[in-house]
Amino acid sequence: MNNDHEKENAAIASLDYVTHDCILGVGTGSTVNYLIENLDRVKHKIKSVVSSSVDSTRRLQSAGFIVEELSTVGKPDLYIDGADEVDSSHNLIKGGGGAHTREKIVASASNEFVCIVDDSKLVTRLGAFPLPVKVIPESRSLVARKIVSMGGTPIYRAGFVTDQGNHILDIQDLDISNPEAVEVLLNNIPGVVDNGIFAFNKPKTVLVSK
């Protein structure tokens, strides 16, 4: 299914949330790429830009933006990002692009998080999309065994290395009926850097395009 038009519509709708003198946090992924392509429309309102990945930084720079470090700008006013799944309480699964650690950091640091998705991302319960868990390479098999003991089926994302040099296990069959509990439980496994559940850093606003 090609949802490019819907992704672009959601991205364009989010431009309304950019206010004057905005410090903007920018997520990662194909929906956000449409945001970056259209960001020129509100450039006059943007004070500075913070990125969540090497790929988004490169795209932002190509579009003429100077990308600053989160530590330098402090608190972004707004964070805009996509998602792989969104439930009715705005809990998310993210990390299809493997950038969820930095995404969660910028989301957490920001005053407001607006999520942009097409309606194929809406779910009643999280978990059909394999949940990305980022691990330091040495811990991969330990983490995989712990996840199996929790009822999950971990699949190693072969050949993929994150911006920070870590690996990803994509987890199927896990019961995510309590997203907050699962987010905490997974992050307590030694060697897990972060997992793709956004239950503690979820968006106030989800813009859905059909």
Contact 27, 109 (CB under 8 A): no
Q: Which residue bears the tokens 């090609």?
A: 2
- Minimum distance of ligand 5RP from residue 143's CB (angstroms): 19
Contact 125, 79 (CB under 8 A): no
- Minimum distance of ligand 5RP from residue 20's CB (angstroms): 26
Residue among 26, 28, 4 nearest 76 (CA): 26
Read off the tokens for 70: 């989160």
- Select 131 or 147, whichever has its Cβ closest to ligand 5RP: 131
- Minimum distance of ligand 5RP from residue 44's CB (angstroms): 26
Which of the residues 6, 8, 103, 183 is marked catalytic? Answer: 103
**Interface residues toward ligand 5RP, by CB under 6 A:** 27-31, 81-84, 94-100, 103
- Minimum distance of ligand 5RP from residue 210's CB (angstroms): 15
Q: Give percent helix, percent strand, percent coil of the chain, each to the nearest 5.
A: 35, 25, 35
DSSP codes joined into one string, 130-160: PEEEEE-GGGHHHHHHHHHHTT-EEEE-TT-
Would you call 183 a catalytic residue per the annotation? no
Spatial strand order in the sheet of 192-195: 153-156, 167-172, 131-135, 192-195
- Select 96 or 191, whichever has its Cβ closest to ligand 5RP: 96
- Select 99 or 109, whichever has its Cβ closest to ligand 5RP: 99
- Select 77 or 103, whichever has its Cβ closest to ligand 5RP: 103
- Select 21 or 159, whichever has its Cβ closest to ligand 5RP: 159
What's the longest Cα–Cα distance across the chain? 52
- Minimum distance of ligand 5RP from residue 82's CB (angstroms): 3
Catalytic residues: 103
